[in-house]
Structure 1
Amino acid sequence: MIIAVIDAMGGGIGAQIVSNLREELPTYIDIYALGTNSIATNSMMKAHANKGATGENAIVTSVKKANIVIAPMSIVMPNSMMGEVTCKMSEAVVDCEALKILLPIIPENIEIVGLENKPLALLIKDSIKVIKKEFNIK
């Protein structure tokens, strides 16, 4: 099983996700660190992702192999994350066959109603619960 974690800018969110996945899930699960830039990728690799790749083509190619994609919701919004998310990246994530777990971390000028405002740590825990349930992982 492959879990692709996508992040941008400094990679802090992605690093927290990777770290929590490593703690909670079996070691046979591969975690791909996909950064829109090398700083984001490096941060996730330091959190013990199995493989890392950077940039538009790496993301477009790697999400096709993933069973699960975890990222801030902004990944499906072209030009978000200070312009680091390209249209091709967004389209690849939306079109891939993987289960998409999108954390409600979005640009300031967008508001999604009906979402419970939770700290990042709880959002990550909720994401791991979804993975364990969906893929029958104990």
Structure 2
Amino acid sequence: MRVAVIDGQGGGIGKHIVEQLRKRMPELEILALGTNALATGAMLRAGATEGASGESAICFNADRVDLIIGSFAIMTVYGLLGEITPAIAAALSLSKAEKILIPIQRGNIRIIGTNRIPLPHYVESLVNEVEQRVEQKKE
């Protein structure tokens, strides 16, 4: 299974996600897609299999993965303090890949029905979901 972890800014959330995925599923193919080189580098140092940066790389790879992972902001135009371009948001939204998103609520978007819990708890839930998808795909 090929999984894309998408992040921007300093790549802190993506780094944490990649670390936890790598711990639980060492064989998983993880593609780090950063909106910038700093974010991609952080995810690569955390154990991503390969990485690429920028709008073109994210748009190109959106349909070449089985699963897209990141915060909810990667799906919103100008999310991550403006780093998510309309082209990125469209490519991710239109991708046939399943998306597993962390409901981090910043700016003027509120997601009703979610609890505000610490990021590590969201990441643990996300990794559990990915693990289930990987097991289902093996069957």
Task: Give the counterpart letter for 2:83 in structure 1.
Answer: E
Tell me, in whole angstroms, the C-alpha distance in 1 between the residues paired with 2:52 and 2:133.
26
Query: Within the alignment, does 1:75 sit opposite 2:54 as a pair?
Result: no
| 1:106 CA displacement | 3.3
SS of equivalent residue, structure 1 residue 66: coil
Match for residue 59 of structure 1? 58
Query: Within the alignment, does 1:10 sit opposite 2:23 as a pair?
Result: no
Match for residue 24 of structure 2? 24
Extract structure 1 runs of 4+ deviating beyond 3 A: none
The two structures have a TM-score, normalised by structure 2, of: 0.93
Match for residue 134 of structure 2? 135
| 1:116 CA displacement | 1.3
Tell me, in whole angstroms, the C-alpha distance in 2 between the residues paired with 1:23 and 1:63.
24
Q: Structure 1: which 5+ runs fail to align?
A: none
Query: Within the alignment, does 1:42 sit opposite 2:12 as a pair?
Result: no
Task: Give the counterpart letter for 1:11 in structure 2.
Answer: G
Task: Give the counterpart letter for 1:35 in structure 2.
Answer: G
Tell me, in whole angstroms, the C-alpha distance in 1 between the residues paired with 2:129 and 2:78.
28
Aligned counterparts, 1:90-129, within 5 A: 90-129=89-128
Contact kept, 8 Å, 1:80 with 1:107, in 2: the verdict is: no
